[in-house]
Amino acid sequence: MTYRVIRAAWFAALAGLPSLPAAAEPHPETQLLSALDDLDQGRVNEAWTALDRLVQRQPNFRLARLFHGELLAARSGVPSQDLTASNDPEIRGLVDEARLRLQQWRERIPDGAIPDTILQLSKSQSHAVVVDLPRSRLYLLENGKDGLRVVRNFYASIGKNGWGKKSAGDNRTPVGIYHITGFIDDGKLPELYGAGAFPLNYPNVWDRRLRSTGSGIWLHGVPRDTYSRVPRSSEGCVTLANADLLELKPYFVSGKTPVVLTDALRWHPREEAWDRRGELLEQIEGWRARWSERDTEAYLDYYADDFETEGMVKNAFAAHKRRVNAGKKLIDVRLDGVDLFRYPGADESMVLARFVQHYRSDNYVKTSDKDQFWRRQADGRWKIVKESSR
């Protein structure tokens, strides 16, 4: 039958996929992938019905319209084009979008698995966001009584030139750990940003250490004449369908909710994070205890030779701490709300610790939010390479 010609090689990736349960109003992506599953299984009438309903419901979903048009042509006896061989940039972008959506559909997250980038979230963090940049996927995680779990995931577009932002105008999405700084309503933005935007705090303290430049990295929507953008289409922002963007809004706490932009996401059982987490927590506790004991030299030994903080390198920082601590009769340091992240883009060698630090001495009291970047040294020890207050 003529409809079989539309089963191009890239449809073969659907083989063996489970059918989706029926839903009164499925997510448009679910509806599309269910139709492609029907098509691959030879259920052509069901696929046609689903795609026809989808394009009527979401007429700006260009990828759905592409499949709908191909199936309509095949049903009419018109030979289908080989989409994978097209020279049309728009078609190539849509083929990439389909590939990434199908990839996520294929690669189901194992039950109980968590992102390897999050080692620990304190109870003060109810949710976190992880964006798998190579796979164009955003995950919303809930931090409940049983630990982290994925509650929603969405297709997301990234920078035209991929990831690894280094400079202004390079059209790349940064790799790192950020937080939302607020929400900008669509009424204050050009149509390009759709339903609104969540600015991120790029460049963060680590970006500035690396001398990365640029600004204006946001999570934002898309123009209303399109449902979603092709995978690499922004100037560095992460873009989502407008409905998906607004669905995230209730879960974001400005200045707090972590947003991890990673270039290499892996999923692993919770237990695999415990060893690394325990090792780091032990180091952080040792650092805190030595400071509280006014054992200044042992405290300073937790800092790497290339450490820097707020305009000071290791030698200047050490001299400052020796001078300050020598004049103290009492130092008491307590930590609350410790979050631990494997820092993306740094292999396994760096961890970001975030916590609330309560400092009290005989003549000074201060509470501050602190970021510490710990890096594994050549001898296997973990040391602090960057420290800053937020």
Per-residue pLDDT of 133-161, as tens digits, reads 999 999 999 999 888 999 999 999 999 99
| Per-residue pLDDT at 13 | 35
Which amino acid makes up residue 289?
A
Please name the residue that has the structure tokens 């050490």: 318
Q: Please check the confidence at residue 9 and state whether its pLDDT lies above 80.
A: no
Residues 307 and 276 both lie in one domain: yes
Residue finishing a domain among 265, 280, 305: 265
Instruction: Write the single-letter amino acid at 268.
Output: H
What confidence tens digit (pLDDT) does each residue in 267-313 have? 988 777 777 788 999 999 999 999 999 999 999 999 999 999 988 99
Q: Does the pLDDT value for residue 17 go beyond 70?
A: no
**Which domain, by its residues, includes 141?**
113-265
What is the distance between the alpha carbons of residues 10 and 96, in angstroms, rounded to a whole number? 10
The pLDDT of residue 24: 60
Task: State residue 275's pLDDT score.
Answer: 73
Full-model pTM? 0.90
Task: Identify whether residues 126 and 247 lie together within a single domain.
Answer: yes
Interacting residues of 315 by C-beta distance below 8 A, sequence separation 6+: none
Q: What angle do CA 187, 190, 193 make, to 5 degrees?
A: 90
**Which of 265, 284, 316 marks a domain boundary?**
265
Residues pairing with 325 in the sheet: none
Return the half-sphere exposure (C-beta side, CA atoms, 13 A cut-off) of residue 299.
Answer: 18
Q: Are residues 130 and 203 in the same domain?
A: yes
* One domain for residues 23 and 77: yes
Instruction: Using the CB atoms, write b or e for 229-257: b if 16+ within 10 Å.
Output: bbbbbbbbbbbbbbebbeebeebbeeebb
Looking at 91, 106, 121, the residue that finishes a domain is: 106
- The H or E element containing residue 38 is helix 28-40
Average pLDDT, the chain: 90
Domain at 119, CATH number: 2.40.440.10
389 - beta bridge partners?
Answer: 370
Question: Could you give the 3-state DSSP secondary structure of residue 259?
Answer: strand
The answer to which of 5-9, 325-329, 365-369 has the lowest mean pLDDT is: 5-9
Examine the domain organization and report whether 176 and 249 are in the same domain.
Answer: yes
Residues 145 and 204 in one domain: yes
Identify which has the larger pLDDT, 328 or 2: 328
Domain count, the chain: 3
176 shares a domain with 43:
no
Host H or E run for residue 218: strand 218-220
CA neighbor of 258 nearest in space, from 346, 173, 353: 353
Residues 76-135 pLDDT 10s = 887 767 787 888 899 999 999 999 999 888 888 888 899 999 999 999 999 999 999 999
- Please state the rounded mean pLDDT for residues 337-341: 96
Lowest mean pLDDT among 206-220, 268-282, 287-301, 315-329: 268-282
Looking at the chain, how many residues does it have?
A: 390
State both tokens at 72. 């309509």
Q: Which two tokens stand for residue 382?
A: 């973990």
| Sign for the pseudo-dihedral over CA of 372, 253, 271, 103 | negative
Compute the radius of gyration of the chain from its Cα atoms: 25
Q: What is the CATH number of the domain that holds 281?
A: 3.10.450.50
pLDDT: which is higher, 390 or 364:
364
Spell out the residues 6+ positions from residue 302 whose beta carbon is closer than 8 angstroms to its own. Answer: 283, 286, 287, 290, 383, 384
Which of 305, 343, 299 shows the shortest CA–CA distance to 325?
Answer: 299
Share of the chain above pLDDT 70, in %: 94
Angstrom distances, CA of residue 7 to CA of 4, 78, 180 = 6, 14, 42
Q: What is the model's pLDDT at position 10?
A: 36
